[in-house]
Structure 1
Amino acid sequence: MQTDLSVTTDPAEVGLDAERLQRVDRRLARWVDEGQLPGFLVTVARHGHLVHVGRYGSADVEAGRPVTDGTRWRIYSMTKPVTSVAAMSLYEEGAFELGDPISRWLPEFAEARVYAAGPAQKPVTVPLMTPIRVHHLLSHTSGLTYGFHHAHPVDAHYRLRGHEWGTPPGADSAEVTRQFAAMPLLFQPGSEWNYGVSTDVLGRLVEVVAGKPLDEVFAERVFGPLGMTETSFGLRPEDDVDSLAQLYGPGVVPLPAPFAEAAHRKPAFLSGGGGLVSTAGDYLKFVEMLRAGGLTPSGERVLGSRTLAHMVRNHLPGNADLETFGRPLYAEVPLRGVGFGLGFSTVIDPVRYGGVASAGTYSWGGAASTEFYVDPVEDLTVSFYTQLLPSSTLPMRNYLRPLVQQALI
């Protein structure tokens, strides 16, 4: 797989129309020209051949820095699939079973409580009926949540304790996990789906099982085999600060310096749920490994193909979709017709989904509007990068799939 973004294959060689692919760039560029998006980079690859790279606009509007192939992006929750892959590589070695209670490694969760009633300041809780298991973390059915949801008293409870768009200053992975365990669960594990800090807890579990920090696990099991030299938890001392794109809110307004500068250095808390920065070319190596069934271009195996196939199946009970099994959360992409596996969302009913997509297409995105998807039917990967937070600001993800799929010949 060619991940040098300056070199592309003729789209016609792999069944894509070059002229129709230009529609992708034109539609995305319109948001830039209208002052709603700072800039973007988008990649399209098929059968392992990179065929289209669109770049437009600014990585830093105020400084006049354009988007380049070397631009680094805060990928936020696109960290989650990396954590899930690292965890499943340990699973493949027999380090744990998916049904194991996580309290075996994180004893603070043995006495977790579940919300029953009351306000955020003084919730009424009940005991666990079943323990949180490893597969609950991978599938977001653990009962953990996010403070930024603003949908439930438990979300507010998180915010009261300093967990909204970040974690308390100075707290490391072990301490943050203990804090999560001390807060009520939203529901009994396995009974519903809710997007939350499950993958952060999974990252801590990986650290304990592997006996080393999460960044070292990533380097050993994912980044090293894939040659991902430009992906890290925050910028490294040798990285140019100007290589990191500026972070913007709605209207392309720069976000406050402390928020934007959090990614300028390695944090105390290595967030398995959202801590990485990367370049488009580097993350493409990871996405293409997924498409290739766990193989690197050199033939080294990161994951077994059957393991990966198991991860991208729908794991919600009764093959339910997120709209029926999940909590009613605002989302920038449809929840109908979409299930959830072990680290990825997956389209289970394209008609109910409501857009052009192949059954089995799996994906995930980040808070600053980044996204990738893998279409196993068309043997296609697409990745998209910008820095606009929150990701619900513009419906870019809803436009991206039909814009790419219409270019297939």
Structure 2
Amino acid sequence: MQTASPQSEGFDPDRMCRIGTWMDRYVAERKYAGSSLLIARGGKEVYFNAAGARDVEANLPFERDTLARIYSMTKPVTSVAIMMLAEQGLFHLDAPLSDFIPAFADCTALVDGATGLDQVTRCQTPTLHHLLTHTSGLSYPFNPGVLPAAMEEKGLIFRADQGPLESVVDQLAELPLAFQPGSRWEYSVSIDVLGRVVEIVSGQSLDQFFAEQIFAPLGMTQTAFSVPTGSESRFASLYTPLAGDAMALNAAQEGGNPLRLIDHTDTSAYRSAETFSGGGGLVGTIDDYMKFCEMIRCKGSGNGNRLLSPKTVDFMTRNHLPGDIASMGPSSFAEQPMEGMGFGLGGAVVLDPARARAQGSVGDFSWGGMASTFFWVDPVLDLSVVFFTQLSPSSSYPARPQLKSLVHGAIVQ
């Protein structure tokens, strides 16, 4: 990527200095161990900064080539994979999931107000579109409700060490859905299930498909489900401010140590992942993820290669819900605000910045990860922004709206 001065791309350099001050403050206040931020406008890099440590215990700095867990920022990658296959005419988005995974053929859904897994009614099988938009009836263990509790009991979170993807998906198919497909929005493992669909349709494992069909064409050489061999020292440690499970949002316990170490490179399952989580399993560098964002900004093309047509990217980045997310009665955790935000295929879409109470342009496409990473692509301002840090859960601090205010506050043209 070419670099350009902030002034030449419409930024006020003095105002951009506020961003580094903010990043340093988060480190000084022990909110984040470290972080990095990369901003591009019109395809030119205008800002990079890193602050703090990738490993507090070893006093190793957070740097540009630091490898981070991007968790749910994997979801847009899997959604792109699905659309790449759809462009080949291999399926349509209204196809039922059971066309690919027969275990989902006879679906049931919990009745309203259910208190047990036996209180169900028959329902339609969710479609691929339901899964892409989190309206499938699937859930996450950290959400409230009967299904999330059952998923928690069975450990259905698609961690890197839970065995082949096929096996985890088959276990999930044994449970009822949380609600009738299409009736609500609930953040879920649906994109993990779509990862299995990619495997079945393409005939490749998900890691192979990503590596050959997405990462190699875009030049994303540092992104994978496992930490690349020889890069272990660049892999950031993961921290939490909670005393208990950093993923157990329903029973979050405040802890005395705001940077409690919960995953270190020496013992991390990401050293050799065996579960290819299309919903949250990738690790990579900030420059690699910017290449993915730039492909979205450039309507499907990157590094001289075309992954998707411009029409398909436009389709993905439109709102696919009847209204905003809030209008669909969610009770789940989400990586974004719900009011004033719609949902496309793999990410959120700004419908009304005022209702979302965060600066942005109508049509912003974005998503984040549980370790507080975040990206957005703004088609109005021709802007791509990627933020990396490693603190779970991402709801710990209001960093994302603060960051958007900082970036927008530095744009003067």
Q: How far apart are 1:257 and its partner, in Å?
A: 5.5
Q: How does 1:4-403 map to 2 (within 5 A)?
A: 8-116=3-111, 117-120=113-116, 122-128=117-123, 130-149=124-143, 151-164=144-157, 166=159, 170-236=162-228, 238-250=229-241, 251-255=258-262, 261-265=268-272, 267-298=273-304, 300-317=305-322, 320-331=323-334, 333-403=336-406
Q: How far apart are 1:18 and its partner, in Å?
A: 1.7
Moved more, 130-139 or 248-257: 248-257
Q: What's the CA shift string for 1:83-121, capped at 9, x where partnerless?
A: 00011011001011011111111111111211125435x
Q: What's the CA shift string for 1:274-325, capped at 9, x where partnerless?
A: 1100001111110111111111132x211101100000100002xx111111
Q: What's the CA shift string for 1:222-260, capped at 9, x where partnerless?
A: 101101110000213x23211100000011111156996
Distance 1:43 1:257 in 2: 24
Cα 1:48–1:358 shift into 2, 3 Å: same
Distance 1:340 1:227 in 2: 28
Corresponding letter in the other structure for 1:386: T
Aligned 8 A contact 2:39 2:384 in 1: yes
Moved more, 363-372 or 328-337: 328-337
Q: In the alignment, which residue of structure 2 is the partner of 1:5?
A: none
Aligned 8 A contact 1:246 1:260 in 2: no
* TM-score of the two chains, using structure 1 as the length reference: 0.93
Aligned 8 A contact 2:335 2:370 in 1: no
Instruction: Report the RMSD for the aligned CA atoms in angstroms.
Output: 1.7
Distance 1:349 1:260 in 2: 43
Percent of pairs identical after alignment?
Answer: 43
Corresponding letter in the other structure for 2:171: Q
Aligned 8 A contact 1:73 1:385 in 2: yes
Moved more, 333-342 or 375-384: 333-342
Unaligned runs of 5+ in 1: 3-7
**SS at structure 2 position matched to 1:174:** helix
Q: How far apart are 1:331 and its partner, in Å?
A: 4.6
Distance 2:47 2:348 in 1: 24
Distance 2:51 2:126 in 1: 44
Distance 1:36 1:186 in 2: 34
**SS at structure 2 position matched to 1:378:** coil
Q: In the alignment, which residue of structure 1 is the partner of 2:252?
A: none
**SS at structure 2 position matched to 1:255:** strand
Aligned 8 A contact 2:26 2:32 in 1: yes
Q: How far apart are 1:165 and its partner, in Å?
A: 7.2
**SS at structure 1 position matched to 2:32:** coil
Distance 1:256 1:242 in 2: 14
Q: What's the CA shift string for 1:181-211, capped at 9, x where partnerless?
A: 1111111111111100000000000100001
Corresponding letter in the other structure for 1:210: S
Aligned 8 A contact 2:158 2:275 in 1: no
**SS at structure 2 position matched to 1:289:** helix
**SS at structure 2 position matched to 1:147:** coil
Cα 1:379–1:297 shift into 2, 3 Å: same
**SS at structure 2 position matched to 1:212:** coil
Corresponding letter in the other structure for 1:245: A
Aligned 8 A contact 2:196 2:206 in 1: yes
Corresponding letter in the other structure for 1:292: C
Aligned 8 A contact 1:231 1:282 in 2: yes
Distance 2:216 2:400 in 1: 30
Unaligned runs of 5+ in 2: 242-257
Corresponding letter in the other structure for 2:232: V
Aligned 8 A contact 2:235 2:265 in 1: no
Corresponding letter in the other structure for 1:290: I
Corresponding letter in the other structure for 2:306: R
Distance 2:51 2:264 in 1: 24
